[in-house]
């Protein structure tokens, strides 16, 4: 059955994580740019797909079926992981899978979410709140130094969605980190950065 996938988005961390996961899972997709500056994400056509008016959105088209829509970056990552059994998330229920999900959600809920909250409140004049949220986010991010001290990846021996989640946020706060105190994290960062799928995902929403 004919199938095609469109990833709608913009050059933001949430969109790039989704793109990297699709790239790593070798899922073919086409990018459709959503112009945030001009409010395209608040237009009726986009809201029909993603009622929250946020990016990214994945739309899977199959001949003869209504489109299947995912409107959360983390759901898109899990969808990609499911299509690439064992490569981004251990397939079997068990400790390795539980640990991977633990590290994935630690970054999503305790690092990325407060960082985004800071980004939201700062331009609204809440400097102190923004500083506190950023500090809280970076404090948790720094825990990753221990995770990668004895293993190459965040959840152990294998690359996973936890590394993708951690990579984009680490990239966006890299200038705030005291890298000399984070040698294992620095090594991990340079390994992830060099992955071809990461390079492609980082470029997915760059307008040429």
Ligand X SMILES: N[C@@H](CCC(=O)N[C@@H](CS)C(=O)NCC(=O)O)C(=O)O
**Minimum CB distance to ligand X smaller for 56 or for 114:** 56
Which residues, in sequence order, are CB contacts of 89 under 8 Å at separation 6+?
A: 78, 81, 82, 97, 100, 101, 104, 160, 161
**Minimum CB distance to ligand X smaller for 37 or for 175:** 37
Question: Is the separation of the CB atoms in 127 and 189 below 8 Å?
Answer: no
**Which residue stretch of 20-28, 49-57, 150-158, 188-196 sits at the interface with ligand X (rule: CB under 6 A)?**
49-57
**Binding of ligand X by 172 (CB under 6 A):** no
> Which residues, numbered 1-40, are part of the site for ligand X (CB under 6 A)?
12-14, 36
> Considering the complex, what minimum distance in angstroms separates the CB of residue 14 from ligand X?
4
Residue 132: name the closest of 121, 124, 144 by CA. Answer: 121
> Considering the complex, what minimum distance in angstroms separates the CB of residue 73 from ligand X?
4
> Which residues, numbered 64-103, are part of the site for ligand X (CB under 6 A)?
72-74
Question: Is the separation of the CB atoms in 165 and 104 below 8 Å?
Answer: yes
Distance between CA 59 and CA 29 in Å, rounded?
Answer: 10
* Residues of the shown chain interacting with ligand X in the complex, contacts defined by CB under 6 A: 12-14, 36, 41, 54-56, 72-74
């Amino acid at each position: 059955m004919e199938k095609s996938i469109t990833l709608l988005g913009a050059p933001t961390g949430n969109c790039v994580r989704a793109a990297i996961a699709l790239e790593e899972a070798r899922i073919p997709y086409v990018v459709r740019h959503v112009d945030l500056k001009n409010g395209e994400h608040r237009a009726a056509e986009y809201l029909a797909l993603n009622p929250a008016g946020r990016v990214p959105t994945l739309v899977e088209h199959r001949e003869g079926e209504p489109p299947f829509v995912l409107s959360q970056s983390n759901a898109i990552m899990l969808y990609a992981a499911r299509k690439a059994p064992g490569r981004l998330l251990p397939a079997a229920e068990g400790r390795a899978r539980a640990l991977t999900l633990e590290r994935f959600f630690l970054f999503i809920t305790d690092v990325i979410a407060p960082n985004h909250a800071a980004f939201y409140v700062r331009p609204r004049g809440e400097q102190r709140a923004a500083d506190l949220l950023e500090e809280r986010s970076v404090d948790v991010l720094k825990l990753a130094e221990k995770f990668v001290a004895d293993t190459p990846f965040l959840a152990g021996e294998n690359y996973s969605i936890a590394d993708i989640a951690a990579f984009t946020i680490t990239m966006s706060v890299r200038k705030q980190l005291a890298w000399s105190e984070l040698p294992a994290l620095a090594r991990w960062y340079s390994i992830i950065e060099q992955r071809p799928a990461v390079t492609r995902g980082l470029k997915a929403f760059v307008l040429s």
